[in-house]
Amino acid sequence: MKFCYFDESGMGSEPYLVLAGIIVDATRMHVTKDSWADFLSYLSEAAGRRVHEFHSREFYRGNGVWHGTDGRKRAKIIGAILKWVEDRKHKCLFSGIDKSEYKKKLKNDERLKQFKSMWCAAAIHCTLQVQKQHQREAKTKGHSVLIFDREVSEETDLGLLIHKPPNWIDTFYSRGKKQTALDQIVDVPFFADSKHILLAQVADLFAYILRTSSEIQDGLLKEKYKAEGKKMRDWSGRIAKIALPRSNRYPAKGRCQAAQLFWDLAPAPIRELG
């Protein structure tokens, strides 16, 4: 059984939306939970107060409980979180949406209208990546559980899309003639408060880094300090190294119509990672 924890960054006025996920094998869940609880204790010590959850936006900008925490210390903690995931050999995945490109395509592309929202488009792209990867592994049929943050309003839409996905996305994972659609995914996605999904908070950090890095690279966001863009690119590179293969999300060549759509929607820095 695989558990895939997701969170997003960019649901406000930001130019890009990024959804990221962390994949964990169920046999190692108790170790991960215990380790993350210890890590929250470490963060609490750094903040000088109890930290029950981790929100990357507040943390990275030094707001909320992180107000007054030295920027260099926050950067060091981000590096430690990345190393924590790397050491446990967890895999991640992500999808990016250029909002202006999405809105432009939405006018004439009936496929996008089927997704109902750009968040659902990113969520389906991530779902397809999980499907494509896990169908290659033995004895994993129907064993991938998708868990998203409850804050989004698209719960019903995504559930219906996964229950009865549009046929045109089948080519993304080369669905066989006798293969059930999205047969690696447990029937419906689950939604829960990120306070109770500790690994979703890591996904939140990854999504924030990937989005911010892309917006800086594309000149849509100014650096808050000297060389912020370089630091963000370095962190994004580390995320890409532990992600599912690039061919799973944005194939460089031989793209089917579904893969081409997600390629066209993605900011260039996101699709070129890895």
pLDDT tens for 20-69 read: 999 998 877 777 777 778 888 877 887 788 887 777 778 877 888 788 88
State the pLDDT at residue 26.
Answer: 80
| 231 Cα distance to chain centroid | 19
Residue range 103-132: mean pLDDT, rounded? 96
Residue range 236-248: mean pLDDT, rounded? 96
Q: How far apart are CA 223 and CA 235, in angstroms?
A: 15
Q: Which of 57, 5, 18 is nearest to 198 (CA)?
A: 5
Token duo for residue 267: 């900011």
Top pLDDT among 70 and 249 is at 249
Q: How far apart are CA 14 and CA 98, in angstroms?
A: 10
State the pLDDT at residue 170.
Answer: 97
Q: Which fold has domain 2-271?
A: Nucleotidyltransferase; domain 5 (3.30.420)
